[in-house]
Amino acid sequence: MTQSARCEGPRPVLAVASECAPLVKTGGLADVVGALPHVMARQGWAIRTLLPGYRKVMTALDRPKVALKIPDLLGHPARILAAQVAGLDLLVLDIPALFDREGSPYLDADGNDWRDNDLRFAALSKAAALIARDGLDGWCPEVIHLHDWQAGLTPVYLAQLNAPQPSVLTIHNIAFHGLTGPERLPALDLSSERFTVDGFEYYGHVSALKAGLTGASAINTVSPSYAQELTTEAFGMGLEGVIRKRAADLCGILNGIDTDTWDPARDPMIAPFKTPATKVANTRILRAEFGLDEASGPLSVVVSRLSDQKGLDLLLGALPDYLAAGGQLALLGSGDRRMEHDWLQTAARHPGKVAVRIGYDESLSHRMYAGADAVLVPSRFEPCGLTQMYGLRYGAVPVVARTGGLADTVIDANAAALAACCATGILHAPGSIPALAHALRHLCALHAQPETFRKIQRNAMKHPVGWEASAPLYAALYARLADQRNPQA
pLDDT digit string, tens, across residues 136-161:
999 999 999 999 999 999 999 999 99
pLDDT of the residue at 1: 37
| Same domain? 239 vs 347 | no
| Same domain? 108 vs 222 | yes
Q: How far apart are CA 276 and CA 181, in angstroms?
A: 54
CB contact at 8 A, 306 and 340 = yes
- Residue 19 belongs to domain with CATH number: 3.40.50.2000
| Same domain? 337 vs 196 | no
Q: Residue 348 domain-assigned?
A: yes
Secondary structure letter of residue 166 according to DSSP: -
Strands 76-85 and 88-94: antiparallel
| Same domain? 358 vs 282 | yes
Q: Residue 268 domain-assigned?
A: no
pLDDT in tens, 428-484: 999 999 999 999 999 999 999 999 999 999 999 999 999 999 999 999 999 999 998
Name the band, by pLDDT with cuts 50, 70 and 90, for residue 110. confident
| Same domain? 393 vs 424 | yes
Q: How far apart are CA 252 and CA 416, in angstroms?
A: 27
Q: How far apart are CA 189 and CA 97, in angstroms?
A: 18
Q: Residue 359 domain-assigned?
A: yes
Q: Residue 390 domain-assigned?
A: yes
Residue 52 neighbours by CB under 8 Å, 6+ apart: 18, 92, 93, 95, 98, 99, 105, 120, 121, 124
CB contact at 8 A, 81 and 66 = yes
Strands 205-207 and 201-202: antiparallel
Q: How far apart are CA 156 and CA 152, in angstroms?
A: 8
Q: How far apart are CA 148 and CA 212, in angstroms?
A: 8
pLDDT in tens, 59-93: 999 999 999 999 999 999 999 999 999 999 999 99
Q: Which domain holds residue 417?
A: 276-462
| Same domain? 330 vs 372 | yes
Q: Residue 296 domain-assigned?
A: yes
Q: Does residue 377 surpass a pLDDT of 90?
A: yes
Name the band, by pLDDT with cuts 50, 70 and 90, for residue 4. very low
Q: What are the C-alpha distances in Å from 77 to residues 62, 178, 480?
A: 22, 23, 36
| Same domain? 252 vs 293 | no
Residue 25 counted as an annotated binding residue: yes
Q: How far apart are CA 197 and CA 212, in angstroms?
A: 13
Q: Residue 267 domain-assigned?
A: no
Q: How far apart are CA 372 and CA 286, in angstroms?
A: 8
Region 234-242: mean pLDDT is 97
Q: Residue 263 domain-assigned?
A: no
Q: Does residue 22 surpass a pLDDT of 60?
A: yes
| Same domain? 80 vs 134 | yes
pLDDT of the residue at 7: 45
CB contact at 8 A, 210 and 177 = yes
Name the band, by pLDDT with cuts 50, 70 and 90, for residue 360. confident
Residue 349 neighbours by CB under 8 Å, 6+ apart: none
Percent with pLDDT over 70 in the chain: 98
Strands across the sheet containing 397-401 = 354-358, 328-335, 299-306, 374-377, 397-401, 426-428
Distance of CA 74 to the CA centre of its chain: 28
Q: Name the phi and psi angles at 125, rounded to 5.
A: -65, -40
Name the band, by pLDDT with cuts 50, 70 and 90, for residue 413. very high
Q: How far apart are CA 240 and CA 243, in angstroms?
A: 5
Question: 303 has which bridge partners?
Answer: 332
Look over the chain and give the mean of its residue pLDDT values, rounded to a whole number: 96
| Same domain? 237 vs 311 | no
Strands 397-401 and 299-306: unpaired
Structure pTM? Answer: 0.93
Q: How far apart are CA 350 and CA 27, in angstroms?
A: 29
Q: Residue 264 domain-assigned?
A: no
| Same domain? 61 vs 86 | yes
| Same domain? 319 vs 359 | yes
| Same domain? 300 vs 368 | yes
Q: How far apart are CA 52 and CA 124, in angstroms?
A: 7
Q: Name the phi and psi angles at 401, rounded to 5.
A: -75, 145
Residue 306 neighbours by CB under 8 Å, 6+ apart: 312, 333, 334, 335, 336, 339, 340, 343
Count of the separate structural domains present in the chain: 2
